[in-house]
Structures are given as structure tokens and as C-alpha cells.
Amino acid sequence: MEFGKKQKKIINNKPNGHLLIKGPKGSGKTTSFIHKIPSLLNNYCISKDDKILVAACNEGYSDYFYSVYRNIEGEKYHQNSFFDEDNSDKLEIRTIDSLVSYYLNKYVKNNNINLTLASFEEREAELKDAIHIVSKRYEKKKPDILNLDHIEFIQDEIKWIKSCNYLKLEEYQSANRVGRINNLNIEISKILRRNSKQRQAIFEVLEEYTNNLGMLNKIDVQDMELLALNEAKKAPIINYTHIFIDNSQQLTKVQLELFKSLYNEKSYSSITFIMDTFETAIPNAWLVKGRHFSSLGYDMKGKCISLNECYKEIEVEEIEGFVDSSDKLIQKNETNKNLLQSSSLTLGSIEYIDLKRNISHRFIKDSGSVDEIYVDYNNFEEKVDDVVNIPVFNEIAAGNPILINEYIEDSYSLPKDWIRTSKDVFMLKVKGDSMINKNIYDGDYVVISKQNMPRIKDIVAVDIEGEATLKTYKVIDGKIALIPENDKYQPIIIEDQQFNVLGVAIGLIKNS
């Protein structure tokens, strides 16, 4: 099996705490990690209690993981140590549901109670009763939401509240619930506003509904996960030194916290999150737009590896049936070249725009020697002797913010006098179309000068809670505003977010 540079980094790097691996389906995220397992077993499961957990979202993925893992036995570089007898019992591949079931049964046994999962009919009946009880409390000032016509809306909101582990009214009232658009034909707010009567009423219904089920020794799926989480926090039977969480973009906060409670943090331990980009949003998932790993206690700055190249489109049906060998999922990358060397930036005439002086230059890079630059002076190509190498980092969003990391993807040479006196410069690849009115398009590269005190109307690169975006810097009503240069996008107003100005754009390399 052939791996690219980033896949090899995943396989060969030493475990170092939390890590995010993201990319589209077929980019080799999961397969790369499974190829790392032998190294973890042989070198980083030192103590008797050290174990590895690979968490799958369903049985189909679990079978797929097992299939890939077994096929690694034939890989030449792992043949001698892959199935060491002493370590073979240190690996567990389990579904999330099996972990929840395990700790729920432990809770039932320890508390000597009998609990069963409520049927749909039972849940609906108890929810209707709860709505009726809460409605009586409000009498004439009853919120419009307390209506049986809206039972499905209320039910979905209760699932979300429990999935987020909001056990107190204050937590729910202050929670960011942007995007909870209702489909009700009544004149109520289209968003459940913070500290509103609507939220208070729904939370009271939740409490009554849960109590109703409890009197019947019944629980719903969200209760199962909450009870399992609490039991795992009290006394986990098994702690895992290394945890791999696939499809983390689909998981609820309770599910993610369950894995955190099972993590046995050591100097050589690791917890790895896999995230599919461009995945359709899953109801009740925690890591959605506007929600970051920092909300779970993980600072992902410098802890993210992005895999952007798809080797093969992987369909769910393929995974559920799993293939005969893992090399059918990742094909040989015949164009495995340097990121910039394989792009148009190293071929033909290239345009560089000085954003501060609004001057455009044309230059040519020798494809055989990326450090050699020729500038076009009146149709005469003149070699530039004094060049500066600029580090190239991960993509930056000219659109919705994307996760950033501190890995240097490459370096790129430009004439030193074009950069002028700017120190500490770096480059970022643009992703998205929010800055097109400033002639900054998807695939362009921006040259950034590190500084944290921009001027009004500067184009700035900003880190917002671990995500980077490129926007025009302004101040509106005393608040920092990041303005897109495309009417499709709304300004980003910096309020209580953690943010850091990475620098100011001083140059632009056009991808054309």
C-alpha cells in the first residue's frame, strides 16, 4: 500500500495527546490510523493496563475496521510484530452503542433497579401528558409553544437538550441555539432565544416527561446515554490509553464526553478524532458550525492534520459490506508530489499583487528549481538573485471559518524586495469565495505579515477559537467586525469568542 506524505505522518508520528484528522470521504483518514495501531501496540502500550479503543458508529464500520486491520498482516513493514501474542488483547474495536449498553447495564446492576427502553407510543403519551401539566401552570400567559400541535417540535428540542447534557434550566437558557428554525404556523420567534419563556416552558416539559417515564421504570435513548456517561465517570471499568473516534462530526456531546471519561491520559497516550468534511449535518451532533473542540476541553491549535486529496469515493454500502483488502480503498497516488510543486504556482507565468501598493508583478518559477525566479521586465526574463523563502501553512477560509494548524505544508520563494521590510511573513491558501470583491479567489495564496494590531480596512487573517478566516477588518459600534467582500456572506461580529489576529495580508499570488 502506498501512502502520501500526510498519511505517513499520521502513521509514524509519536502519540501526543489529542489530535484531529479531517478530510472528505476517501482521503485515507481512518485507514491511515488503523495502520498506526501496530506501532501503538508494540511501542506505546507499555503498562499492563494500557489498551487501545477504536470506536465505530455502527456495526458496519466496526466490521470494516476489523477487515482493514486483518489485512495489514500482509504488509511487509509490519509482518514481524503485528500479531504479538502479548499485545493482541490490548485492542478493542467497539461500537458506541455497545459502550453505552455496557455502562447502562453496570448502572442498573449497581443500583438494583429495572429499566427498559420506552416504546414510541409510550414516549408520545408521556410527552403529551407533560405538555398538559406544564400548560396548566401558565394559565392565561401560556407560551404558544405549549400546544399538542407542536409535539414533534418539542420532542426534537428535548432530544437536543439531553444530547447536549444540559441538565439545568440555566444551561439551556444560555446555550447557543442558532439555527433552530421552527416550522410552526404561529407567530412565535423563529429562533428559541436565550432566557426566553419558550425555553423555560420546554425545559419544564422535559422535566415532567422524564419524571413520567421514570415512574414507569422507562427511559429513552438520550437517558440511556446520560446514565451510561454518569456511570463511566464514577468508576470506569476500563481506561484506554489510546482512543480513536471515527465520524466524530456525527456524535452528540454526551457521546463525546463518554469517550473523554474513558481516556487514560499518560505522557504517551493519545485520543484521535476523525471528522468528515462536507458531511451533511446530523441532528443533535455537537461539533457543528459555531461549535469547537474547545467546548470539550481540547485546544486543537497545532493539533490538526487535513487530508484533502481523495483516493477513492467510499460509499456506505461498501463499508458495511467491507472490501477484501484495505488497498482497494486507497489507491496508489501516482501524482504524489509537493503541494505547491504540483500546482500551477510552479508552472508558467504567475501574477503577484502587492496589496499595500496595489502593484501587480509577473514572474516565472523554474519547475526544475523552485527557488529560481525570473521576473518579466519589458518582455525580458531576468533572474532574481535575492529571494526569500516563505513558509506555507494550512488553508484559510474566504467563506465559513475552517480549522487551522501549525504544520508547515511547504515553503515558497518570492523576490525579497516585493516583501519589503515586512518580517515574520507566511502564506496561506485561500478556500472559499467570500473575498472575491477584493480579487481574492478560491485557490489563491495570500502572503500574511504577522501583526496583531491591524488598521481599519486591512485584510486580516484571524483565528477564532481554532478556526481561521480571511476578512476585511472594521470596527462597528465599538465591536470588531470581520467583513466579507461578497454579498452572500454575513459579517462576523467578535463578541465573546476567543480570537487572535494572525496577521495582515500584504500580497496575493493568483491561482491562474
Residue tagged 472528505 (cell numbers): 24
- Hey, is 431 helix, strand or coil? strand
The pLDDT assigned to 367 comes to 46
Cell, residue 306: 487535513
Cβ atoms within 10 Å, residue 25: 17
pLDDT digits (tens, 9 = 90+) for 405-436: 555 667 888 888 888 765 689 888 888 899 99
Q: What are phi and psi of 93, to 5 degrees?
A: -110, 110
Query: Taking 60 as the threshold, does the pLDDT of residue 84 lie above it?
Result: no
Residues forming beta bridges with residue 193, ordered by sequence position:
none
Residues forming beta bridges with residue 362, ordered by sequence position:
351
Query: Taking 80 as the threshold, does the pLDDT of residue 114 lie above it?
Result: yes
Strands (E), 255-407: 270-276, 304-306, 349-354, 359-366, 369-377, 380-384, 387-397, 402-403
Q: Where does the pLDDT of residue 451 fall: very low under 50, low under 70, confident under 90, or very high at 90 and above?
A: confident
Active site residue ranges? 434, 471
Residues forming beta bridges with residue 414, ordered by sequence position:
388
Q: Where does the pLDDT of residue 176 fall: very low under 50, low under 70, confident under 90, or very high at 90 and above?
A: confident
The pLDDT assigned to 370 comes to 54
Give the span between the Cα atoms of 509 and 512, in whole angstroms: 9
Could you tell me the domains of the chain? 5-105+228-328 (3.40.50.300), 119-215 (no CATH), 344-509 (2.10.109.10)
Residues near 85 by beta carbon (within 8 Å), at least 6 away in sequence: none
Is residue 52 a contact partner of residue 240, using CB atoms and an 8 Å limit?
Answer: yes
- Hey, is 394 helix, strand or coil? strand
Give the span between the Cα atoms of 349 and 100, in whole angstroms: 58
The pLDDT assigned to 322 comes to 43
Query: Taking 70 as the threshold, does the pLDDT of residue 73 lie above it?
Result: no
Q: Where does the pLDDT of residue 308 fall: very low under 50, low under 70, confident under 90, or very high at 90 and above?
A: confident
* Residues placed in the known binding site: 23-30
Which element (helix H / strand E) includes 55? strand 52-56
Q: How do 218-219 and 116-117 pair as beta strands?
A: parallel
Q: How far is CA 343 from the centre of its chain?
A: 26
Query: 190 or 270, which is more confident?
Result: 270
Q: Where does the pLDDT of residue 330 fall: very low under 50, low under 70, confident under 90, or very high at 90 and above?
A: very low
The pLDDT assigned to 224 comes to 96
pLDDT digits (tens, 9 = 90+) for 263-300: 999 999 999 999 988 766 788 999 987 788 999 999 98
The pLDDT assigned to 325 comes to 31
What value does the CA radius of gyration of the chain take, rounded to a whole number of Å?
27
Cell, residue 434: 467570500
Cβ atoms within 10 Å, residue 334: 7
Give the span between the Cα atoms of 54 and 68, in whole angstroms: 13
The pLDDT assigned to 104 comes to 92
In the chain, DSSP finds a helix count (H) and a strand count (E) of: 12, 22
Please, what is the average pLDDT of the chain? 81
Give the span between the Cα atoms of 335 and 341, in whole angstroms: 11
Cell, residue 77: 513493514
The pLDDT assigned to 399 comes to 55
Give the span between the Cα atoms of 183 and 230, in whole angstroms: 34
* Residues placed in the known binding site for ATP: 23-30
Alpha helices in 285-411 (DSSP H): 316-321
The pLDDT assigned to 83 comes to 41
How much is the average pLDDT of 166-178? 89
Which element (helix H / strand E) includes 172? helix 169-174
Cβ atoms within 10 Å, residue 403: 22
Cβ atoms within 10 Å, residue 325: 14
Is residue 394 a contact partner of residue 404, using CB atoms and an 8 Å limit?
Answer: yes
DSSP-derived letter for residue 269 is -
Q: How far is CA 358 from the centre of its chain?
A: 36
Is residue 454 a contact partner of residue 473, using CB atoms and an 8 Å limit?
Answer: yes
